[in-house]
Amino acid sequence: MENAERLLLDLVDAGHLVPMGIDGMYGRGAAFEDTLLRFDAYISRSAKDDGATLVRFPPVINRRDFERSGYLKSFPHLAGTVFSFDGTPAEHQHLLETVEAGGDWSATQKMTGAVLCPAACYPIYPTLRGTLPQNGRLFDVFSYCFRHEPSKDPARMQIFRMREFVRISDGDSVRPWRNMWIERAMELLTAIGLPAVSAVANDPFFGRGGRMLAANQRAQELKFELVVPIASEESPTAIMSFNYHQEHFGSTFGIQTSDGAVAQTACVGFGMERVTLALFKYHGMRVDRWPDSVRRVLWG
Amino acid sequence: MENAERLLLDLVDAGHLVPMGIDGMYGRGAAFEDTLLRFDAYISRSAKDDGATLVRFPPVINRRDFERSGYLKSFPHLAGTVFSFDGTPAEHQHLLETVEAGGDWSATQKMTGAVLCPAACYPIYPTLRGTLPQNGRLFDVFSYCFRHEPSKDPARMQIFRMREFVRISDGDSVRPWRNMWIERAMELLTAIGLPAVSAVANDPFFGRGGRMLAANQRAQELKFELVVPIASEESPTAIMSFNYHQEHFGSTFGIQTSDGAVAQTACVGFGMERVTLALFKYHGMRVDRWPDSVRRVLWG
């Protein structure tokens, strides 16, 4: 973790990240934000002929859909739920006194219909209930995502942006599409000087049962990642992931192909903050001193 | 509210908003998002010589700073707090069974260190503890904000974006700066065909005590809004607000001017979704048919 803390200090000194007094939560400075948005535009250019439908979801989503999604089975420890106050003036007084005394005011809060978005693709599936057109659909989504895992590693934020492409169709279309993206993404990242390596991966499933889920996910090669050392050489950071969900979301949300089969889905996700951090790590804290080749690709 | 529901239907039919199964929460379609980002760039051009420091905060912020901010005194009913699970596998099993049975699983969730951001300027003040440089500071912030007020009016979303400029200095600098922005903003909005009107306003303070706070805020002209009819002619919607906080944030977060006085603050906020909705309302659902004068300003 020492390397992680040094990198974080460098980023803060350079004004790229602004500490907010809590691990894994930062303001983004002008150069950080500009770099992230340039990388985002670079992704758009690379995918411009794919014909994806663009939707931008907010960072909170519908709790009922989230309950159905299965996220709480696999990652209950990472999910964030939104609570609020709907009490009386007297209860408000009690809330304020508890806050004033530095006490625990959680009992004044009630669960709302909103949860934090856990991954950019989650809100798209519930909108697709029914039968897909022939050849299925392709979406381009992007949103802030929350994962409750406070860490001093700047590459493990609690709140970060994810850009994803999501393919919803039959398995014969979905799996090759995901594999095409692994190749394309390697080229994209190589062109901006990031030494990414692809690897079979697994999600951080909760609890003992999670170990079996992880082993199964690996055996079936359902998840790949592109990893780059950021805060540590030994445990490189995933900056992209490529996930084949089989029939999970199709059966959960009642999505059928035009042939009447349960739809299969896959997604390709860019960790936008992680890619940006990798760029600062590899090319230095001053964007004006980055290699010409990298600047040309991003700032064209 | 009938007009609000009709407008919402039009927006959904045109693909500008994507329903998420809960009032006040929508995905944004491609033309909506493009328009919003073009308006954002237009704001940037209009303020480019002001020398503001750009910081982009995420949609959740530090709960401790939020507790200090006074938001819970005035708007407890609008705040969103983030809860999460940190239980055992047995408690996880209970959580899943409760979800499965359609029950209330809120008791499985504990308050975290994060709350939803209530207004784009809130996270900047805690970063400024100490003494300001001469002439103070000027910030450019933008973030998703949450307010727990489910509504069928598309102009009253629970989760929406706010762009703000924030001036932190002495009262003699801060107040004229705010007034300058009221003039500038009127010109900005007129140029894109929005019939905005400026008005003294008050915040939606909670409870009976709130009425006095509101009256006081009006009497001192601490808050102005630019309003435009969107869903209703009788109660036009605030698409911008101009707030003079006097010493509130300066004393709360220990910010001094270079002369050693408690800093005063003011902010100028654009409701990004509301401006975008107003553009669709006034110029129609098809961006390619908007008046040339408006298209020229936004798409240059």
Residue of A21, A80, A84 with shortest CB distance to B64: A21
Segment B79-85 mean pLDDT: 98
Segment B112-126 mean pLDDT: 98
Amino acid at A237: T
Q: What is the pLDDT of residue B1?
A: 57
Q: What is the pLDDT of residue B7?
A: 96
CA distance A106 to chain B (A): 6
Residue of A25, A110, A148 with shortest CB distance to B84: A148
Q: Across the interface, do B85 and A73 touch by the CB < 8 Å criterion?
A: no
Distance from chain centroid for Cα A209: 24
Q: What is the pLDDT of residue A300?
A: 84
Q: How far apart are the first and last CA of chain A?
A: 36
For residue A137, the cross-strand partners are A168
The answer to whether B162 and B147 are in contact (CB under 8 A) is no
pLDDT in tens, B174-203: 999 999 999 999 999 999 999 999 999 999
For residue A82, the cross-strand partners are B82
Q: What is the pLDDT of residue A167?
A: 98
Whole-number Cα distances in Å, A270 to A33, A103, B66: 15, 40, 31
pLDDT in tens, chain A (300 residues): 588 999 999 999 999 999 999 999 999 999 999 999 999 999 999 999 999 999 999 999 999 999 999 999 999 999 999 999 999 999 999 999 999 999 999 999 999 999 999 999 999 999 999 999 999 999 999 999 999 999 999 999 999 999 999 999 999 999 999 999 999 999 999 999 999 999 999 999 998 889 999 999 999 999 999 999 999 889 999 999 999 999 999 999 999 999 999 999 999 999 999 999 999 999 999 999 999 999 999 998
Q: What is the pLDDT of residue A208?
A: 85
Secondary structure (H, E, C), chain A: CHHHHHHHHHHHHCCCEEECCCCCCEEEEHHHHHHHHHHHHHHHHHCCCCCCEEEECCCEEEHHHHHHHCHHHHCCCCCCEEEECCCCHHHHHHHHHHHHCCCCCHHHCEEEEEEECCCCCHHHHHHHCEECCCCCEEEEEEEEEECCCCCCCCCCCCEEEEEEEEEEECHHHHHHHHHHHHHHHHHHHHHCCCCCEEEECCCCCCCCHHHHHHHHHHHCCCEEEEEECCCCCCCCEEEEEEEEEECHHHHHCCEECCCCCECEEEEEEEEHHHHHHHHHHHHCCCHHHCCHHHHHHHHC
pLDDT in tens, B193-240: 999 999 999 999 998 889 999 999 999 999 999 999 999 889 999 999
SS3 label, residue B148: coil
Complex ipTM above 0.90?
yes
Please give the DSSP secondary-structure letter assigned to residue B263. Answer: P
Residue B45: which residues within 8 A CB-CB, separation 6 or more?
none
Query: Rounded to whole angstroms, how far apart are CA atoms A40 and A19?
Result: 24
Whole-number Cα distances in Å, B230 to A34, A109, B32, B196: 33, 32, 16, 11
Q: Where are the domains of chain B?
A: 3-62+118-299
Residue A215: which residues within 8 A CB-CB, separation 6 or more?
A202
Residue of A57, A81, A96 with shortest CB distance to B72: A96
The answer to whether B32 and B17 are in contact (CB under 8 A) is yes
CA distance A12 to chain B (A): 12
Q: What is the pLDDT of residue A264?
A: 98
Minimal-distance CA residue of chain A relative to B207: A89
Strand ranges (DSSP E) for chain B? Answer: 17-19, 26-29, 53-56, 60-62, 81-84, 110-116, 130-131, 137-146, 159-169, 197-200, 223-228, 237-246, 255-256, 264-271
- CATH number belonging to domain B3-62+118-299: 3.30.930.10
- Contacts of residue B84 in chain A, CB cutoff 8 Å? 77-81, 148
